[in-house]
Structure 1
């Protein structure tokens, strides 16, 4: 049996738009379509109670933080994709507004854990990557930065430039405002970010787990990482 992901059989008509509250279910489905690693599913099981947690968290961010929590969705508007199109992937960019110059402008990143996943592992994993991010920007003296919080692409739509387009969207904003950009990447996502000027930092490993997360930082035009 082949382990290759499914592929679409039509020519997609891809459109990048900002998400609204009506897109939270599609965003959650794109998350689980894009993140299938057992480690991620240990943190966020693909079950109904966890689905509600994601939907509530994303709805709150979209409606309560429209300037700082920017959600992008890439829709396939080809007729074959179905009425209204199909969400092929999404990205969440944390964008500094200038109203709060603190390094902790976007914390807490998540609401309290649902209890359906491994809450202790969530604390250890996200605590570790958040600490690495804080340390990096404290040394740089650059508290305000753009952060690619999430990016997921449905398996059947990979290798069509979707992840790159959503990455480039935030990089252009960061350059316009002279700000750094940052991402915590899986091994699969790393090559995409490198193409857009992100430089890998020290990989992060959680003891007892095989999943590796590598932070990447991108200097704005005119600066070096």
Structure 2
């Protein structure tokens, strides 16, 4: 049985493991290699936001039938405008492809800024599901949480969707609003207006 729980500081290494399981095969390793130093960078970046950003909400999905697995999916929702939040990530680690990271994440930040301006919105900054749990409802639980909060607060929700993730987000009312001149390869910028 899958259950939704808040992420704790003890979960940070498992979150990093999950990120590489979910996104490593999709080409991100060219930008963010899987090295001990970069794993520590991820742990530190997520730890900082978890502990010091009151508008960053980290949730995990656990499988009660397999308690030895610390988590099978996680999401980070952020309730701030891009302008209020500042930089999404700390400085890139020396072992990362800095130019590639600047290009990709710069395009994504530009899209969000153009689409939503300085308005508050629930930004699905990250959603990862372990490959063996895809299609079993973990991602839906994490998306539903943010959509419910956005509706309650009457603000839009936003996500930079991968090809695999687009159908899930569309089911929750996210629409493709990508601006072609700032398009990042393989990513769709999606907005969901609040529902009453």
Does the pair score TM above 0.5?
yes
Secondary structure of the corresponding residue to residue 86 of structure 1: coil
In structure 1, distance between residues paired with 2:183 and 2:20? 22
Q: CA deviation at 1:188?
A: 0.5
Question: Given that residues 71 and 93 in structure 1 are in contact (C-alpha distance below 8 angstroms), is that contact kept between their aligned partners in structure 2?
Answer: yes
TM-score (normalizing by structure 2): 0.93
**Are the structure 2 counterparts of residues 23 and 86 from structure 1 closer, same or farther at C-alpha, using a change threshold of 3 Å?**
closer
CA RMSD of aligned residues (A): 1.6
- Structure 1, residues 6-49: CA drift from partner, whole Å, max 9, x if none? xxxxxxx2111110111101111111111134531112111111
In structure 1, distance between residues paired with 2:143 and 2:85? 19
| Structure 2: gaps spanning 5 or more residues | none
Structure with larger Rg: 1
2:189 alignment partner in structure 1 = 215
In structure 2, distance between residues paired with 1:32 and 1:192? 20
Structure 1 segments of 4 or more deviating over 4 A? Answer: 203-206
2:10 alignment partner in structure 1 = 22
In structure 1, distance between residues paired with 2:16 and 2:194? 31
Q: What pairs with 1:74-85 in structure 2 (closer than 5 Å)?
A: 74-78=61-65, 81-83=66-68, 85=69
- Out of 162, 165, 185, the position equivalent to 1:189 is 165
In structure 2, distance between residues paired with 1:45 and 1:143? 34
Q: CA deviation at 1:91?
A: 0.4
Q: What pairs with 1:32-181 in structure 2 (closer than 5 Å)?
A: 32-65=20-53, 67-78=54-65, 81-83=66-68, 85-96=69-80, 103-138=82-117, 143-181=119-157
- Structure 1, residues 77-111: CA drift from partner, whole Å, max 9, x if none? 21xx244x431011000024xxxxx6511221100
TM-score (normalizing by structure 1): 0.82
More helix by share: 2
In structure 2, distance between residues paired with 1:170 and 1:154? 20
Question: Given that residues 77 and 86 in structure 1 are in contact (C-alpha distance below 8 angstroms), is that contact kept between their aligned partners in structure 2?
Answer: no
More moved, 168-177 vs 31-40: 31-40
